[in-house]
Amino acid sequence: MRALVIDDSRTMRIVLCRQLARLGFDVLEAADGRQALDVLASTGDDPPALATVDWNMPVMDGLTFVQAVRQQSQWRQLTLVMVTTESEHGQIVRALAAGAHEYLIKPFTPEALADKLELLGLHPTGAVA
């Protein structure tokens, strides 16, 4: 099972890629929403099952990315998790209304990420204990 990590911070991409790899995901990366759309397009008819999406990014922010993904029928199976410091209610409502499935507030522990994916029914094989 593949996951796409979208974050303008290289540090956060490394942190999330490490955590997702330990859960058994093969991980792709993108530094902003525009780059993420290109990565998704390059996967053809085998897109990732999951994308973690930072909210606050240059070029194309997370909310715009979610809206763009939801306009494309070939990516309708893609589970979108917003990863954000934007913990206020209004922001979360906007993300869910745009088509995100869940959200994770930074800072988050590896266990919180695993619990969230469990909740979403994402069970990759090959998890590292």
Partner 1 sequence: MTPAATAYELRSADLAAITSDVWAVFCDVDEEFPLLPTTEAPADGAEVVHASVGVSGAWNGQVILELTAVTAHAATAAMLGQQHVEPRDMTDAVGELVNMVGGNIKSLLPTPSTLGLPVVVRGRLLQAEVPDAAEIYRAELAWAAEPLRVSVWTSDHTPGTNQGRQQ
Question: What is the rounded CA–CA span in Å between residue 35 and residue 87?
Answer: 25
Q: Which of 86, 101, 104, 117 binds partner 1 (CB under 8 A)?
A: 86
Should residue 129 be labelled a site residue for partner 1 when binding is judged by CB under 8 A? no
Should residue 126 be labelled a site residue for partner 1 when binding is judged by CB under 8 A? no
Should residue 128 be labelled a site residue for partner 1 when binding is judged by CB under 8 A? no
Should residue 18 be labelled a site residue for partner 1 when binding is judged by CB under 8 A? yes
Phi, psi of 15 (to 5 degrees): -60, -50
CB closer to partner 1 out of 50 and 83: 83
DSSP 81-106: EEEES--SHHHHHHHHHHT--EEEES
Question: What is the rounded CA–CA span in Å between residue 86 and residue 69?
Answer: 21
CB closer to partner 1 out of 15 and 78: 15
CB closer to partner 1 out of 11 and 77: 11
